[in-house]
Structure 1
Amino acid sequence: MVEYRRRIVDDLLDELLPEMAAVALEGAKGVGKTATATQRARTVYSLQRTHQREVLSAEPEMINDGPFPVFIDEWQLHPPLWDAVKTAVDDDPSGGRFLLAGSADLPPGTRIHSGAGRIDRFTLRPMTLMERNFETPTISIGKLLRGEPQQIRGTTQRTLRDYIDEIFRSGLPGIRDLSPKVRRHRIQTYVDRLAEKDIPAAGGRIREPETLKAWITAYGAATATDASYETILRAATPGQSEKPDKKTVMRYRDLLTRLFILDPVPAWMPSLAPLTTLIRSPKHHMVDPALPAHLAGIGPEGLLRGERNVLAPDGETWLGALFESLAVQSLRVYGEANQTHVRQLRTKGGRQEIDLILEDWERNTLAVEVKLAGAARNEHVKHLNWLQEKVSDGRRLTRMVVTSGEQAYTRADGVLVAPLALLGP
């Protein structure tokens, strides 16, 4: 039996589950929801098993029999169970009663209670670099946000090739430790199953799965960009006179978002520090950079040679986009462990762009630029310094450049510089 690797969400569950009657873990297939919930459950119902699904469909009250916590896996395969849990929590709101896991949101029009106030939701993403035991972190994102003292020090021996290896291995627990050949097969199967099985199971009608797979590939090629959906569609259908219409493309987007495969970073729109030229559109990312890396057909050596993704802006490499996505994947989890909103900032005309803005409930803010470089140069920090000049609403603002280098340090202008490997929650 494979040994369970403790996840960052486990710390949150240790702290919060005793006070929460029901917790739903959401996320793409393969991120580890079932393994995490099973660690705590005393009763497990897996709705992927036809018999268990039929039994609970006939007698949903069985979930009250315990022993608790009761774990209902892939609950979305029988949506009325969500309401059954909600009713059970209404009757007994004591903590630690139910765990639910789902790898797809419900189709529009499915009528269930929102669960607000009864069922607390957490998103589980692929493993962060810290969870992969890539390196021992020396810098806490939470302390940076709260302004708690910590030394911005530390070195890592991890190289650019190590980061590239992590991009291709993925953060999916059941895939990352396989041999490269088997891993490539599993990732391709993962994408094929999305188009041919998972989307139809989630209520989506796909007439031409190959067209959808081409669109997924093109979306992946837009990783870490704000390319328009029209641009993505053109990349997915080169030379085709008859292309899917906008309604179809938006349906692709919505279906893949419901399956947690698309994971775009929303725009930052601060209410108390209005910046009038901000762009509201999201920045494209997939749930794991291993997916676009595999679909692009550019291997590790091609990345090192600087081969480009056709949707990357001029002067930017495919490796740079994938490294940014790897950083975003980990930093989102570190930030959310500290109850932050994770956003990004771009102004009209692309004059200013900041890769990540982490903001907690007290408006403590961490602005992050991700750079494929060993150290931070002046051009890497100019947008961070611009933001410091513009934000004057009294918030604590910390500026940081995340690099692929070896050394953590603080620049003379106060900007922190940290290798991605040295960051943790």
Structure 2
Amino acid sequence: MIPRDASHTLSSLAAGYPVLAVTGPRQSGKTTLCRALFPALPYASLEDPDTRQFAQEDTRGFLAQYPDGAVLDEAQRCPDLFAYLQRRVDEDPRPGRFVLTGSQQFGLMSGISQSLAGRVALLHLLPLGIAELRAGGLLPPSLDRLLLDGGYPPVHDRRLDPAIWYANYVQTYLERDVRQLINVRDLAQFQRFVRLCAGRTGQLLNLSALGDEAGVSHNTAGQWLSVLEASYLIHRLPPHHRNFNKRLVKTPKLYFLDTGLAARLLGIETESQLATHPLRGALFETWVVSEHLKARFNRGLPANLSFWRDRAGHEVDLIIERDNRLWPVEAKAGSTITADASRSLLRWLDVAADAAAEPTLVYAGEHAQTRNGVKWIPWREWQPHV
């Protein structure tokens, strides 16, 4: 197993809560992590038809098999389970007894909020981040290879061809699982919608335009987008809320949570394709945003990320609130350092004044430098702010 940065957080939470819930996209390593951290707990998958039938028809009898707890995979497949779990942990509140996993937020979070509030600790596990790849000796040799490989563990620990793996992932999970959640009748239309979303990664979200191009209503586009978000495939990054300047953009930006999946949906399969692709910069920015989300989630922290953009076009890709300061981060896919690249960061420093912390610019080059108070950090050496 590739060591995961979330291991320490999950172990700490297990010392204080009777139930742990680990959510994230399919194949992000949830089951592997939980079984490795809690080897003494028996394991049951609610994906298995026989196991699910037993849990649904006789929930009390199903849980009676596990007096000392268990790892219950894809727990949202049996909604009645949560109420019975509440009864069990209230009678015996020993910490770390039950570990639930789920790849779909709607079902899992609904069960937790209705029955297990105050009894459960939640951790979001996204695909591998740069720190985990680096520590495991798996960091790809080039930035373009990193963007194409993405972070899903099977691509790295089994050395699979990412183009083939992501094609299968789209068919088996995205088109089967997600489409069934929203009962899509026209698969081609849904496929088009998802690919249009990939083409908008790193851009301001215009739901009406997205729906028009996909041939669906504004409401349908919003519903489909919410399900993609609940399935940990996309993230809507909100604009920064503090009103430093009244002429601010108030629309969120759309990001995929994995560049390998986004690249596959865009039809990019090779480094040479990516090197000249018009969305290479957007994919690099997507990677920087997703790395920050991974770093925060691995610590058990909320996203707490935003971006800043005024109507004159000045934009900072990420604003991180930490220690009562605002840390600005910019992503540039170029490999050379130029004065123009840090212009928006310097504008932000003027606007935010005393609230602004040290600005960082992550770029595709090889040398770290500090210019005009801006830290330029090569992608290979970068460590996301937490």
Assess same fold via TM > 0.5. yes
Separation of aligned partners in 1, 2:159 and 2:4: 23
Q: Which residue of 2 aligns with 1:77?
A: 77
> Aligned partners of 1:307 and 1:109: how far apart in 2?
38
**One of 221, 244, 252 as aligned partner of 2:199:** 221
**CA 85–358 in structure 1, closer or farther in 2 if over 3 Å, else same:** farther
Q: Distance in 1 between matches of 2:303 and 2:174?
A: 31
Q: Which amino acid aligns with 1:225?
A: Q
Deviations 1:291-343 (A, max 9, x none): 22112123321222x232xxxxxxxxx11111111222222222344536442
Query: In the alignment, is residue 388 of structure 1 matched against residue 368 of structure 2?
Result: no
How far did residue 225 of structure 1 move? Answer: 0.8
**Counterparts of 1:350 and 1:104, CA distance in 2:** 39
Query: Residue 259 of structure 1 corresponds to which residue in structure 2?
Result: 231
TM-score between the two structures when normalised by the length of structure 2? 0.87
Measured after TM superposition, the shift of residue 276 of structure 1 is: 3.0
SS of the aligned residue for 1:94 comes to coil
Residue number in structure 1 paired with 2:332? 371
For the residues of structure 1 that align with 2:271 and 2:123, how far apart are their CA atoms?
A: 33
Deviates more, 1:288-297 or 1:276-285: 276-285
The 8 Å contact of residues 362 and 379 in structure 2, kept in 1 or not, is answered as: yes
The alpha-carbon distance between structure 1 residues 375 and 20, as it changes in their structure 2 partners (threshold 3 A), is farther
Displacement of 1:170 after TM fit?
A: 1.9
Q: Point out which structure has higher relative CO (alpha carbons under 8 A, 6+ apart).
A: 1
Query: Hey, what does 1:27 align to over in structure 2?
Result: 24
The 1:398–1:17 alpha-carbon spacing in structure 2 relative to 1, beyond 3 Å, is: farther
Counterpart of 1:406, as a letter, is: E
Contact conserved, 1:61 with 1:84, CA < 8 A, in 2? no
Q: Pairwise mapping of residues 45-64 of structure 1 onto structure 2 (< 5 A)?
A: 45-57=44-56, 58-60=58-60, 62-63=62-63
Aligned 1:7-406 pairs, distance under 5 A: 7-41=4-38, 42-57=41-56, 58-60=58-60, 62-63=62-63, 66=66, 68=68, 70-106=70-106, 113=114, 115-133=116-134, 162-176=142-156, 182-194=161-173, 196-202=175-181, 204-236=182-214, 243-270=215-242, 274-298=244-268, 299-304=270-275, 306-308=276-278, 318-337=279-298, 339=301, 341-349=303-311, 351-360=313-322, 362-392=323-353, 395=355, 397-406=357-366
Letter in 2 for 1:399: P
1:72 CA drift (Å): 0.9
Contact 1:170 1:176 in 2 (8 A): no
CA contact (8 A) 2:249 2:309 kept: yes
Tell me whether 1:420 sits opposite 2:379 in the alignment.
Answer: yes
Q: Is the 8 A contact 1:324 1:370 kept in 2?
A: yes
Distance (whole Å) between structure 2 residues aligned to residue 364 and residue 64 of structure 1: 50
Partner of 1:252: helix, strand, or coil?
helix
Opposite residue 359 of structure 1, the aligned amino acid is E
| C-alpha displacement of 1:245 | 1.8
The C-alpha deviation readout for 1:79-105, integer Å capped at 9, x for no partner, is 122233333333333321221110012
Residues 145-169 of structure 1: CA deviation (Å, up to 9, x unaligned): xxxxxxxxxxxxx99x711111111
State the TM-score, normalizing by the size of structure 1: 0.80
AA of the residue aligned to 1:207: R
Counterpart secondary structure, 1:263: strand
**1:340–1:358 contact (8 Å) kept in structure 2:** no
Unpaired stretches in structure 1, ≥5 consecutive residues: 137-157, 237-242, 309-317
% identical equivalent positions: 22
Q: Kindly indicate whether the alpha-carbon contact (under 8 Å) linking 2:326 and 2:356 is maintained by their aligned counterparts in 1.
A: yes
Change (3 A) 1:89 1:417: farther
Which of residues 2, 9, 16 is equivalent to 1:5?
Answer: 2
CA drift of 1:74 comes to 0.3
Q: Distance in 2 between matches of 1:415 and 1:395?
A: 16
Deviations 1:117-165 (A, max 9, x none): 21121111110112122798xxxxxxxxxxxxxxxxxxxxx99x71111
Distance 1:122 1:171, change over 3 A: same
Distance 1:172 1:212 in 2: 23
Supply the distance in 2 between the matched residues of 1:135 and 1:379 (Cα, whole angstroms).
36
Task: Supply the AA of the counterpart residue of 1:260.
Answer: Y
Deviation at 1:201, TM superposition (A): 4.4
Separation of aligned partners in 1, 2:252 and 2:92: 40
How far apart in 2 are the matches of 1:37 and 1:320? 35
1:380 counterpart SS class: helix
Return the offset for 1:349: 2.3
Aligned to 1:311: none
CA distance in 1, matches of 2:303, 2:105: 21
> Residue 227 of structure 1: CA displacement?
4.0
Q: CA deviation at 1:193?
A: 2.8
The structure in which a higher percent of residues are helix is 2
Distance 1:293 1:358 in 2: 26
Deviation at 1:377, TM superposition (A): 2.7
1:408 corresponds, among 364, 368, 379, to 368
Q: Which moved more, 1:38-47 or 1:63-72?
A: 63-72
Structure-2 residue corresponding to 1:154:
none
- Matched pairs, number: 377
Distance 1:334 1:378 in 2: 29
- Aligned to 2:6, the other structure's residue is in SS state helix
Residues 135 and 36 of structure 1, relative CA distance in 2, 3 Å threshold: closer
Kindly indicate whether the alpha-carbon contact (under 8 Å) linking 1:267 and 1:281 is maintained by their aligned counterparts in 2.
Answer: yes
